[in-house]
Amino acid sequence: MSIVIRNTQRSVSVNMALLSRQIYAIRDIIDCNDFDLSIWLTNDKRIRMYNNETRGIDRPTDVLSLRFIEDVKPGCRPKPIHHDFKNLGDIILSVPYIHRQLPTLGCSITKRLPLLCTHGICHLIGYDHERDDDFELMQARENEILQKLADRGLYPEF
C-alpha cells in the first residue's frame, strides 16, 4: 500500500528522503504496511483552515490527524470498512509553526517531524490524550515507536 508525502510549504528546508524512510518505518512498526497513509507538510494558513473546519478552532496548530476509520481502539489493528479500502488517514503538519517552536523545545526539525508524525499516526490508530490515563497510554505508545525507530537508526538520541 502507498504512502503519499507532499511538501507544499517552502519556508523551511526538510530532508524529504529521510522523512520518507521514517514514515515507512513507523507504518511498519505499527504493523500497518497494508494500509495507505498520507502526510502533508503545509503552512500556517492551510492548517488553520483545516483546524477550523475539523475542530472549530480558528488558529494554526502543529499537527492534525484526519482518521478514515473511526472505530479504532488503542492497541488494536484498524478494521477497514472494506478489504479494498485500507487507509489510515491523513496527517497535516504546519512546518513553519513547528519551526517556530524549535528554539523553545531545543531540538531540530529533523527530530521534531518524526515525533509529530508518530503522534499523528497514533491518533489515526485510536490513541488520544483527552484524559490523563489516555495521555499516558498514548505517550507510552509514541515512546515505544520512537525507540524502535531509533533502533533502526532513523531517529536521533532516544
**Residue-level pLDDT at 131:** 82
**Residue-level pLDDT at 75:** 85
Q: What is the DSSP string of 15-34?
A: -HHHHHHHHHHHHHHTT-TT
Euclidean distance between CA atoms 37 and 81, whole angstroms: 15
**Residue-level pLDDT at 158:** 60
102 grid coordinates: 524549535
Euclidean distance between CA atoms 63 and 51, whole angstroms: 9
* Domains of the chain in sequence order: 3-151 (3.40.390.30)
pLDDT tens digits for the chain (158 residues)? 899 999 999 999 999 999 999 999 999 999 999 999 999 999 999 999 999 999 999 999 999 999 999 889 998 889 887 878 899 999 999 999 999 999 999 999 999 999 999 999 999 999 998 887 889 999 999 999 999 999 999 998 76
Shortest CA distance to 143 belongs to which of 120, 115, 123, 124? 115
Q: How many helices (H) and strands (E) does the chain have?
A: 5, 4
- SS3 state at 152: coil
Q: What is the DSSP string of 112-143?
A: HHHHHHHHHHHHHTT---SSHHHHHHHHHHHH
**Residue-level pLDDT at 91:** 99
The model's pTM: 0.94
